[in-house]
């Protein structure tokens, strides 16, 4: 604790801690408890469209519990959900890997550029991070559609003679995720590669290692923390992605974020949507905890 | 300019930047297309911009989104900065691990989960304590502050932990109280990151579709909600015009803010500025 913090006294300190703590507790942690609760409720037609978990109508000190595991049994019994979870995981893993393949050489190149140009490149990778996600995903619709810009261009050059189906399938979803999340992979990778001690590479060269060998035995192992941080920043949100599969995906691209959305908005099945969310959280809890470790280490 | 890089790396950088920028630039180009068939060029025209300015639904939604974003970022920098001070300056305290977790998790939590959970909270709260009454602007702001504050906190933490503490200690030695120290020493030093946090919160809020859709009421449609309802039916030349305006304004704003903040940081002998703050934020 710093001197200023100590001088603040107990009341002052509790106030500074209390405001953000209370906000996040009430609006981030408590909502999960409620989702958990509602995932065990029974679906009814009414407002709200689920039963209360605890029934106090019997009187006495203790309520009767109406715990209903039906929603989870339902998720297991209907293969749609299992397929959607597996598809989402597959799409997230593959797109994270593709993102890494595109981002690594870029981040490496930028980190080794002279400082003058480095800031310009850095601004160029930060800018998309700030511009509208929704509009950036939308911009691919005109490029990929059947009579869209890319097909027209390929036909004009004579590479293909008939338009290729590039929109509303798995290909466009992969492309959309790699495109949208690329800055999330680039920034931590760049930060890691830029900090790397260059003298280690000189030492490797002095000891007779070729450039390629030095890259694979020195640079790559040292960049692993950046790779992990970037991959988690892409992988975790990609699993629950909604906008990309609904704008670029086809009817067969079943991702769990979209399933949750439809359960909620089209079927008004709040308890099922809650169970879908809880299972998604269980899948993501390990990656989120690893990510959180990385954040802690930063402090 | 990239002397140390091999040809392969240079080509990858070039392709990467083309990949990042070509779709948006093409979208902007085709927003000036005469034809209603968005992807067939039929001559230069600004008619979709004129149509946009007459579209009451879009204008109302844009105004609502701007209000929400401004209020959201203003609350978020207060909560986020307090959280950052707590985590960087307060050492060990009860609930520290919990706090770190509550700051890190919203950064990666899928939007559908955040949106659903906050909606269910608001429904339960209004059933039990009668607040919030109905859903709309207020509930969207609360939801947005929750994730924005986490982003602000990460950006400010990066700056705070790189600050030289001797400035603060000197102020205390000279008899300043902790509030004075914060106001006259710490806050001016972390100001670039607080401004960056405000801007990022503004953009994130202005851009959010999923969370707002869950927690908004029937009468409050934000700009992304209106855009989404239009583009899920297919290409829309008006949206191309809107996208061109939004993306240009944001790009100019970010570039100007980036340069100003980088200059300030350079003056404070702290190279990297906002760029470094973001690299750290995402790290």
Tens-place pLDDT, residues B29-50 = 888 988 877 777 888 888 889 9
Confidence (pTM): 0.88
Residue A252 is predicted with a pLDDT of 79
All residues of chain A having their beta carbon less than 8 Å from the beta carbon of residue B186 are 4
Q: Is residue B176 part of a domain?
A: yes
In a domain, B148, yes or no: yes
Which is higher by pLDDT, B110 or A57?
A: B110
**Which among A31, A239, A294 is the nearest to B120, CB-wise?**
A31
Rounded to 5°, angle at Cα B219 from B214 and B224: 55
Give the pLDDT score at A161: 83
- Rounded to an integer, the average pLDDT of B199-214 is 93
On whether any CB of chain B is under 8 Å from the CB of A99, the answer is: no
User: Are B251 and A114 within 8 A, CB to CB?
Assistant: no
Cα–Cα distance for residue pair B272/B263, rounded to 1 Å: 9
B44 located within any domain: no
DSSP string, A242-277: -HHHHHH--TT---HHHHHHHHHHTS--HHHHHHHH
B38 lies in some domain: no
SS3 B33: strand
Does residue B61 form part of some domain? yes
Reported ipTM: the value is: 0.86
The structural domains of chain A, ordered by start, are 79-266 (1.10.3720.10)
Which of A225, A250, A295 is most worth mutating to test chain B (most B CB atoms within 10 A of its CB)?
A: A295
**Cβ <8 Å between A291 and B108:** yes
Per-residue pLDDT at B271: 43
B63 pLDDT more than 90: yes
Residues near B74 by beta carbon (within 8 Å), at least 6 away in sequence? B198
- In the predicted model, is pLDDT for residue B276 greater than 50? no
- In this prediction, residue B278 carries a pLDDT of 46
pLDDT at A146: 79
The torsion angles phi and psi of A22, rounded to 5 degrees, stand at -65, -40
Q: Is residue B109 part of a domain?
A: yes
Residue numbers of chain A with a pLDDT score lower than 50 = 299
CATH number for position B215: 1.10.3720.10
Helix, strand, or coil here: A202? helix
**B36 belongs to a structural domain:** no
What confidence score (pLDDT) does residue B279 get?
Answer: 44
Torsion angle in degrees (nearest 10) through CA of A219, A220, A225, A231? 140
Residue A124 forms contact with B (CB below 8 Å)? yes
Pick B111's closest partner by Cβ from A30, A122, A240. Answer: A240
Domain extent for B178: 55-282
Residue contact A4–B87, C-beta within 8 A: no
pLDDT single digits (tens) B227-273 = 999 998 888 889 999 999 999 998 888 888 877 777 776 665 544 44
Q: Flag whether B34 is in a domain.
A: no
Q: Can you give the pLDDT at residue B3?
A: 52
Number of separate domains in chain B: 1
């Amino acid at each position: 604790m710093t001197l200023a913090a100590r001088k603040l006294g107990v009341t002052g300190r509790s106030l500074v801690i209390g405001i953000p703590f209370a906000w996040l507790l009430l609006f981030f942690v408590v909502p999960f408890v409620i989702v958990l609760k509602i995932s065990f409720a029974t679906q009814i037609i009414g407002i709200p469209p689920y039963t209360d978990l605890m029934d106090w109508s019997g009187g006495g000190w203790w309520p009767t519990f109406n715990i209903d595991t039906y929603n989870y049994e339902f998720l297991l019994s209907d293969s749609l959900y299992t397929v959607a979870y597996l598809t989402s995981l597959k799409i997230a893993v593959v797109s994270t890997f593709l993102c890494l393949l595109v981002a690594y050489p870029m981040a490496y190149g930028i980190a080794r550029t002279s400082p003058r140009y480095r800031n310009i490149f850095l601004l160029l990778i930060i800018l998309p991070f700030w511009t509208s996600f929704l509009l950036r995903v939308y911009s691919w619709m005109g490029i990929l559609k059947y009579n869209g810009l890319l097909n027209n261009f390929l036909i004009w050059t004579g590479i293909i003679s008939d338009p290729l189906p590039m929109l509303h399938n798995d290909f466009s979803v992969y492309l959309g995720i790699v495109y949208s999340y690329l800055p999330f992979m680039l920034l931590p990778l760049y930060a890691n590669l830029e900090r790397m001690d260059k003298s280690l590479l000189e030492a490797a060269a002095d000891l007779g290692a070729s450039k390629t060998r030095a890259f694979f035995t020195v640079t790559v192992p040292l960049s692993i923390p950046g790779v992990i941080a970037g991959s988690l920043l892409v992988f975790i949100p990609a699993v629950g992605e909604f906008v990309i599969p609904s704008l670029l995906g086809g009817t067969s691209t079943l991702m769990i974020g979209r399933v949750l959305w439809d359960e909620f908005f089209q079927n008004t099945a709040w308890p099922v949507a809650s169970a879908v969310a809880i299972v998604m959280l269980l899948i993501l809890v390990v990656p989120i905890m690893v990510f959180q470790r990385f954040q802690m280490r930063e402090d | 300019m990239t002397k140390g890089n091999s040809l392969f790396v240079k080509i990858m950088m070039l392709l990467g930047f083309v990949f990042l920028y070509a779709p948006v630039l093409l979208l902007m180009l085709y927003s000036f297309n005469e034809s209603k068939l968005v992807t067939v060029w039929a001559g230069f025209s600004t008619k979709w911009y004129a149509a946009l300015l007459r579209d009451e639904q879009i204008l109302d939604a844009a105004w609502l989104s701007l209000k929400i974003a401004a209020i959201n970022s203003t609350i978020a920098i207060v909560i986020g900065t307090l959280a950052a001070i707590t985590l960087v300056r307060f050492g060990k305290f009860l609930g520290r691990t919990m706090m770190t977790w509550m700051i890190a998790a919203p950064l990666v939590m899928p939007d559908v989960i955040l949106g659903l959970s906050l909606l269910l909270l608001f429904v339960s709260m209004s059933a039990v304590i009668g607040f919030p009454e109905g859903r709309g602007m207020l509930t969207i702001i609360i939801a947005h502050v929750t994730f924005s504050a986490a982003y602000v906190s990460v950006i400010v933490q990066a700056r705070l932990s790189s600050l030289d503490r001797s400035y603060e200690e000197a102020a205390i030695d000279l008899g300043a109280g902790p509030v004075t120290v914060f106001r006259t020493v710490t806050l001016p030093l972390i100001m670039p990151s607080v401004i960056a946090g405000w801007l990022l919160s503004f953009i994130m809020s202005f851009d959010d579709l999923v969370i707002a859709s869950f927690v908004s009421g029937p009468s409050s449609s934000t700009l992304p909600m209106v855009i989404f309802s239009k583009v899920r039916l297919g290409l829309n030349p008006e949206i191309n015009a809107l996208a061109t305006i939004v993306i240009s304004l944001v790009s100019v704003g970010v570039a100007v803010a980036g340069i100003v903040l980088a200059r300030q940081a350079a003056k404070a002998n702290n190279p990297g500025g906002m760029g470094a703050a973001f690299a750290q934020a995402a790290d």
